[in-house]
Amino acid sequence: MGIVKLCIFSIIFIFLLKFHYISAEFFKRDVIELEKGPEDVAWVVQLSDLHFSVHHPERALSFEKIVGPSLSMINPSLVFITGDLTDGKSKDLLIMKQDEEEWLEYKKVLTNVIKKSGLKKNVFYDLRGNHDIFGVPAIGGPFDFYSKYSINAQLKRSGLVNSVTIQTGERSIQFVGFDSITSLGLRGPTNLFGHPTDQLLDEISSELSVLDSQPTKPITNIAYGHFPLSFSAASQSGRTLKETFLMHNLSAYLCGHLHTKFGKNLKRHHESNQHKHLLQLNGHGSLPNNSKTCSDEATEFKEFWEWEMGDWRKSRAMRILSIDRGWMSFVDVDFKLGAKNVIILPTFPLDSRFTLERSFHKCKMESLNLNSIRALVFSSSPVVSVVARIYDSRPGNLVTVLETPMRRNDDSTSRGNLYTCPWNFNAFEDPSPDRFLLQIEAVDIEGRSTLTELRPFSVGGLRARLSWNWKEFMVMGCQWDALYYPILWLFYLLTLPILVFPKAIFVFLRKQYTYKSLVGNRKLVTCVAWILSELYNLPLVCFSIIVYLFYLILCPWLSGQVFTEGEERGYMTYRGWVLRFNERQKLDFHGFPDIMVVVLPHLYIVVLPTIIVIGALVAERAVFQDHLRALSAKKEDDYLVKNNVSAPTSGRNKTLTLLHRRWLRKMLLLISLAICWKHFLNCRSLVKAYAMNPFIHFPVYSLSVPILLAYTIYKTSRAE
């Protein structure tokens, strides 16, 4: 018996020790217990891209004036500020480095906002954006003002990953925030991407899984950061944030960075079956299949939403995100016209544009309460009425099919006002996810009416289509870190073979192409061969173009000052910036793929048009030479008869006039001027951004294109 008792005691001791360890790991993290009503409902606020600037004081003034009282009215459990806290730019937007005065202003304004909001300071979380790291050589160094003035720094949150959990009594809602800024804060513009390391991904994974050992409550995982996934590079081992999020059944990723100028539909649905895709043509991805039954025993579909929000910089945007019984809804509030007296956030039924398939899994629907329409109403003055309306859009115009008053949940200690009304949700089942539209109206005691937007919903969990315009697709639908090299080498595939191989073919075949060859055989191949033949007649130009193209992939483009202060310079190649050798005496490249904002515009907007214009100039000269020869030999009539051309007409006279006065050449000269002007603007921005002299620090990059164009224009000016 003694041995049995000892074994039982040992098992109990080990269990208690393990429980104590798990509890210690959990409770050392920030935890917010929601004790007041409404039950199992939480809401948080997200702000992003404040860009406080010494050159634009109105941004900080409006933030302090509007955000403090608005937060007091909303009373969120948490406030997240997802990067670009300061601007870090000169007045002309060309010099990008840290300015301590902007950080002092940020600290002062946030202190006042917290005081006006009535919220505790520890519910605020802020993190870095790329603007907050411009020109910072080391995290924690003298120019890392974030580590000195941010709220996270003041509260000693020194890690790159910070998590906080809201306990509602029914579930755990975990928020994991992270800084994926680059370890070396280069000056802009080559500081545009997030750079999660393998270590950071491991930390994020660890935080997202910390609640897995406590299965007593449902868990909702939400991550927040600055960079969208389309502007987040893969780690050194090739791992990505998307893979990490899918592994841990994330529900949503909140981010900033892009601003509203690119569009208001900067949302993207991510799925486990498309993690290798480089392009996504729309926001909704593949539409859900709700035909599964509980007997399918299929693994749960892994998915999450990425919701980029607008900026405070110009759009004065704020997001309120609610988690109502595990279901997420949000509203983006526009403060450009000033503070709002009433803000309404419908929490059920869900907006069908932003639903998750697993939220409507048939095996889990029975336990959910679907019998009421629900909405949070935040108001600075008493609300006298709230009405829910449902419209049917099938007839072609909106027909009201339900209009019912909503009642406030009676709770004198409530954290916020939740309004509900009963409805027969089965009456709105439909195969179309956007047939029925929900709108809620609130009227306050002063008679002011506030309406929500018309939100499509589907009680069956069908997801509506979310289309992008071309700008939204470019910034959200393209995985730019993976696309950089394919786009780069496509340029060389379009240029080098066309410039080099035909010369060898012409020599081997001993064949010459002239303008008369083109007249006799009007095909694209003949046209290209003729233009290249004319280009080869200017061997110095052709050779210089080829040498310049090889220079751009073999040699440094420029040498610039990449940090806020100091004399240390780095040099930039198409692979990134090189600042120093690593411990193995090998080159370390930084700022990849950020340097694509310099490399690709130069190749596709400057170099490629230059090659095309040079080809057009030599072709125009050849046509003009042929025209002069025809006139001087007085064989125009024979030429017309031979080519079955009718007698002189007004059309032919116009053609001769164009040839004689060389109007095409004049147009090409204007295009050449436009190319040089664009190139000058690029060089000017680089000169200011990295404190360079174009004749010393990047002469080949800055001078080659203008010299090539000028020389070609000179050589083609006369028909020899």
DSSP letters for 306-318:
EEE---SSSS-EE
Res 327: pLDDT? 92
Q: 107-113 long-range contacts, Cβ below 8 Å, gap at least 24?
A: 107/149, 107/150, 107/154, 109/52, 109/60, 109/63, 109/64, 110/151, 112/64, 112/68, 113/63, 113/64, 113/67, 113/68, 113/71
Separation of CA 42 from chain center: 27
Please tell me the chain's helix, strand, coil percentages from 3-state DSSP, rounded to the nearest 5.
Answer: 40, 20, 40
Report pLDDT digits (tens) over 478-530. 999 999 999 999 999 989 888 887 766 666 655 566 655 555 556 666 677 66
What does the angle CA 470 – CA 475 – CA 479 come to, to the nearest 5 degrees?
A: 115
CA dihedral 51, 56, 61, 64 (to 10 degrees): 10
Query: Other CB atoms closer than 10 Å to residue 55's CB: what's the count?
Result: 13
* Contact present, 103 and 145 (Cβ < 8 Å): yes
- In 3D space, the residue among 340, 342, 413 whose CA is nearest the CA of residue 382 turns out to be 342
CA distance 173 to 32: 10
Report pLDDT digits (tens) over 253-310. 999 999 999 999 999 999 887 656 788 999 888 766 555 444 444 456 789 999 999 8
Return the bridge partners of 385, or none: 443
Packed helices 699-715 and 608-632: angle between N→C axes, nearest 10 degrees:
10
Res 25: pLDDT? 42
Give this prediction's pTM: 0.88
CA distance 498 to 246: 44
SS3 26: helix
Letter for the amino acid at 482? A
What does the angle CA 537 – CA 540 – CA 546 come to, to the nearest 5 degrees?
A: 105
DSSP structural state of residue 122: G
The first and second tokens of residue 585, run together, are 């005496």
Report pLDDT digits (tens) over 385-408. 999 999 999 888 899 999 999 999
Q: How far is CA 166 from CA 35, 97, 243, 330, in A?
A: 11, 37, 25, 17
Return the bridge partners of 576, or none: 573
Nearby residues of 41 by Cβ (< 8 Å), 6 or more positions away: 168, 322, 323, 324, 325, 347, 376, 416, 418
With tokens 């193995």, the residue in question is 584
Q: What stretches in the chain show pLDDT beneath 50?
A: 1, 4, 6, 9, 11-28, 292-298, 366-367, 639-640, 645-652
Largest alpha-carbon pair distance within the chain? 126
- In 3D space, the residue among 578, 545, 548 whose CA is nearest the CA of residue 562 turns out to be 578
Return the bridge partners of 306, or none: 253, 268
Return the bridge partners of 222, or none: 175, 252
Nearby residues of 135 by Cβ (< 8 Å), 6 or more positions away: 88, 96, 97, 98, 143, 185, 186, 187, 562, 563, 564, 565
CA distance 684 to 667: 26
Q: How many CA atoms lie within 13 A of 524 on its CB side?
A: 0
Q: Phi first, then psi: what are they for 126, rounded to 5°? A: -125, 150
The DSSP bridge pattern shows strands 372-379 and 342-348 to be antiparallel
CA distance 367 to 354: 22
Res 409: pLDDT? 85
The first and second tokens of residue 547, run together, are 């040498």
* Contact present, 378 and 342 (Cβ < 8 Å): yes
Q: Phi first, then psi: what are they for 576, rounded to 5°? A: 135, -175
Asked if the bond preceding 431 is cis, omega within 30° of 0, the reply is no
* Contact present, 696 and 568 (Cβ < 8 Å): no
Res 649: pLDDT? 47
